[in-house]
Structure 1
Amino acid sequence: MKRTTALLAAALFLLTACGTSEPAASDDTSDAAAQPVSVTDARNKKIDLKAAATKVVGLEWGVVENLVTLGVMPVGVADTKGYTNWVTAAKLDPSVKDVGTRGESSVDAIVALNPDLVITTTDESANTIAQLEKAAPVLVVRGADAANAIPQMKTNLDLVAAAVGKAEQAKQLNADFDKALADGKQKIADAGKAGEGFTMADGYKQGSTISIRMYTTGSLLGAVATELGLKNGWTGAGDKDYGLAQTDLEGMTKLKDGNFLYIANKNDGGDVFGGDLAGNAIWKNLPFVKSGNVHRLPDGIWMFGGPKSTQQFIDATVQAVTS
């Protein structure tokens, strides 16, 4: 997903995945891993592979995180520098090739890697997908679904796992996420913070203009915070995919006190809340600023990632709310 461009609308399809054989739980050299694989992607298109993919290119950071977490290091990634800045839950090997920017990847660079499979999201242009399909199978997952944020995250992991023969690993990763969520909810309840208000945002500056994105209950992180037992103070609607709402500083004046959680990155965009707005009179008079309830979460938690990034968010949020 691009941080500063409008989100592309994507049709709501049921993501399904199936394999012609059960992939081995931990042995990629097994006979099962060498069997043909068939998956049906977010376009409702069937992708047939001669065997579980091992040379994979990932064009969105969420699918790349899932690949690395599953133990499949991609051969190519769109914007490796950006990924390194934003996704610390699943680090890339230095050998991974950069294939351009997200949304404007280099077809030539991808083809040169001779991949078994290219994985992207419904945010990718149909024209780019069509070009790539001339050289390699392309698996498309839905970027996000504001109506089912957490289930969509899990489904995307399952779909990627089916294509690379790692279904059992995905099952365990999703179970680990569920446990982390339950443990975090219990910690918040034990601290007497259940039902406490929160808002979640990120912000960026273009020229002299500061834009703020609010994470509604339909966003992945908003949904997770709600499942932790917190109450989202931003009640406005977001987009149908990522559950994000655009606002400005004046728009935040309607917010009440509570925990204000935000994500920034010193290597990409800096901290508009702790820096650019620190001396602003409107900002300083917001209830959560006056009460000292502003929490910058650690850099490198990808807001649109898989279970591992989202578990980082769980840990950081529990720490912020209970400390």
Structure 2
Amino acid sequence: MLLYIVFAQKDCFMYKHIFSRMVLVLLLVIVITNVVNAQQNTCQTGFRLIAHAMGEACVSEDVQRVVVLEWSYVEDVLALGVMPVGVADIDGYNNWVKIEPQLDPTVVDVGTRQEPNLEVIASLNPDLIIAPSFRVANNYEALRAIAPILVFDAYPTEISHYDEMLNTFTTIAVALNRQAQAESVLSQMQAYFASANQALVDAGRANETFILAQTFLHSDVPTFRLFTDNSLAVQVLTQIGLTNAWDDAPQQYGYTTVNFEAFADIGDTNFFYIAQPDYQSALVVSPLWTALPFVNSDHAYWLGGDVWLFGGPLSMQVLVDTVLDAMGISPVVTNTCATDFRLVIDAMGEGVCVPQNPKRVVALSELDIDALLALGIQPVAVTNGRGQTTPPRYLSQYLGTDVVSTGTFYQPNLEIILAQNPDLILFAGFTDADVLSQLNAIAPVFNAATPAESWQTHLTRVGEVFNMQAEADSLIQAYDARIAHLRDSLADAIGDEFVVVRWSAEGPQMMASRVISIRVLTDLGLVLPTNIPDLQDGHAHTPPLSLEKLDIVDVDWVFIGTLAGEGDAVDALQSALQTPLFQSLDIVKNNRYFLIDGSIWTSLGGYLGVMTILDDIQTIIIERTNS
């Protein structure tokens, strides 16, 4: 379905923005409807059929482990709050794609985009692979034998590359069950485009012409890619109110490759170009360059050497920001909030109107509770700790006696929250659209972090909400200083392997890389075993292990705890510790296992949590090692 929208007046960009949000919602509905219509009992229970550029795939309804073979789709996955387990050419991605969030260090490089390593991909046990059609024609069947694969045509001829970006992003969102995040990301993108347009209007530069180019040396000849109207980047710059002056016919890859001769008939225009720094230095002194009209008029704008023009919604915002910055223009951030409120951007890029001075705050994740208490703010109500029937055990000493429990993280009690009359609700990482809608009817809801982001990023955003950025920065610096000090004390252990084990009534589970203690231990220089795929990012933890397989935890250092302080899990752990199988492990013989508080070591937390863990490490590792 193609929608053509015509606006007659130049000053109606806000109406275009509002209507764009409606179109984005409609686009998501269309994609979801197509998926539903495709399902004709061709997939087993728990999977759904999704059409793509090279066929159809039965994709799990609970995708956890994604391998991505093209940078644009890596960006899409990250923008939706999902950290892939494998990515092609990570160094190249990091060099070119400048967005937040960034790839986690635990993500595995699976080879080049042109020739990914199939063995490495298979070893990651993915449940979804995402790739472009122009790169996987020769190995499509081999990849499909590893896991379901979604293939996209990055350079279609029947629609613009911008429309293809939207279609691909929304399809990936459906495959990952991230439709709400997709709507938020695309809405924020449109809002940013609207602010950029307003900034151009205010600067008196709206409707100016431009040419967008990449330039480089090819066989020692200065070569230029001039982008055509169907390209993604040109479509974006057109949306913010500029007009493309390069009128060549649309090209498959969205650009025409030319040399200096093509500039003979080009007059003055805004010439935005990307060039590597060393080539840029030589280009600007070339007589052919200095003779060009747009150079003489100071309308040639170097955008740097690493602006990514083939990405997704986040890269397009970076492009707009880079272009405006080169022009000396700042985007206008419009605060549409009521009096006594201000606009703060949350983890999903969504603007939230928060009170100027929040007084009654409800915290619905461990991260939120931790951040508030670390900043000296007492919430009126908080979630229970995961696997616990009370607020997080490790935070009990900091919470006021009158704080109210709202129930579990996944099912907060809305009546209890409403009764607290909150003026702000913090809910990091939660994505259930129905629950969020009901919470927003009670008070503004602010999401301070996606599941892939660090506690430091979360704390920084919470600090911004409460105008306590300096205090948040100070806490992060204190953590960094403590890590540096303890690394010196642990110098002999750097590079050692470790596991953190949560013991449940069903057996031991090894925790994966997003758990807070894992981040602390890796900051200290210890490493997770690489031979256990479930410990890589994308999993919360391994399935419960039988006692007969306990030898898999027999690494250099082992930390064992339970979520609850009493009950079946504690009894099961105490019983297991006495078994001959456990007593035969090298970690027991070498005194290298430690009993820890699983409510923090095997869950989520923030500054107070990591400092508690560092206290434990100083006590149980360093003192034992030195004794």
Compute the TM-score of the two structures, normalised by the length of structure 2: 0.44
Match of 1:95 in 2: 106
3-state SS, counterpart of residue 237 of structure 1: coil
Post-superposition offset of 1:210: 3.0
1:213 aligns with one of 210, 217, 225? 225
Give the aligned residue type for 1:252.
Answer: F
Match of 2:168 in 1: 156
Match of 1:277 in 2: 283
3-state SS, counterpart of residue 224 of structure 2: strand
CA contact (8 A) 2:193 2:240 kept: yes
Larger radius of gyration between Structure 1 and Structure 2: 2
* Number of residue pairs aligned between Structure 1 and Structure 2: 289
1:214 and 1:312 map into 2 onto residues whose CA distance is 19
1:275 and 1:299 map into 2 onto residues whose CA distance is 12
CA contact (8 A) 1:181 1:227 kept: yes
1:107 and 1:204 map into 2 onto residues whose CA distance is 33
Match of 1:302 in 2: 308
Query: What is the CA deviation profile of residues 137-174 of structure 1, one whole-angstrom value per residue up to 9, with x for unaligned ones?
Result: 11011213464232221111111111111111111111
1:1-323 alignment runs, 5 A limit = 16=31, 35-43=46-54, 45-90=55-100, 91-145=102-156, 147-240=159-252, 242-265=253-276, 270=277, 272=279, 274-321=280-327, 323=329
Q: Percent identity?
A: 34
Query: What is the CA deviation profile of residues 73-101 of structure 1, one whole-angstrom value per residue up to 9, with x for unaligned ones?
Result: 11111110000000111411111111111
2:184 and 2:67 map into 1 onto residues whose CA distance is 24
CA contact (8 A) 1:16 1:40 kept: no
CA contact (8 A) 2:223 2:257 kept: yes
1:37 and 1:49 map into 2 onto residues whose CA distance is 5
3-state SS, counterpart of residue 105 of structure 1: coil
3-state SS, counterpart of residue 211 of structure 2: strand
Q: Which runs of 5+ in 2 are unaligned?
A: 1-29, 37-44, 330-627
Post-superposition offset of 1:106: 1.5
Give the aligned residue type for 1:58.
Answer: V
* Residues 1:128 and 1:271: Cα distance change in structure 2 (over 3 Å): farther
Compute the TM-score of the two structures, normalised by the length of structure 1: 0.83
Post-superposition offset of 1:299: 4.9
2:219 and 2:105 map into 1 onto residues whose CA distance is 33
The structure whose RCO (Cα within 8 Å, separation 6+) is larger is 1
2:295 and 2:278 map into 1 onto residues whose CA distance is 15
3-state SS, counterpart of residue 145 of structure 2: coil
Give the aligned residue type for 1:195.
Answer: N
1:252 and 1:159 map into 2 onto residues whose CA distance is 40
* Residues 1:211 and 1:108: Cα distance change in structure 2 (over 3 Å): farther
CA contact (8 A) 1:75 1:97 kept: yes
1:59 and 1:248 map into 2 onto residues whose CA distance is 32
RMSD across aligned positions (CA) = 2.1
Answer 1 or 2: which has greater helix percent. 2
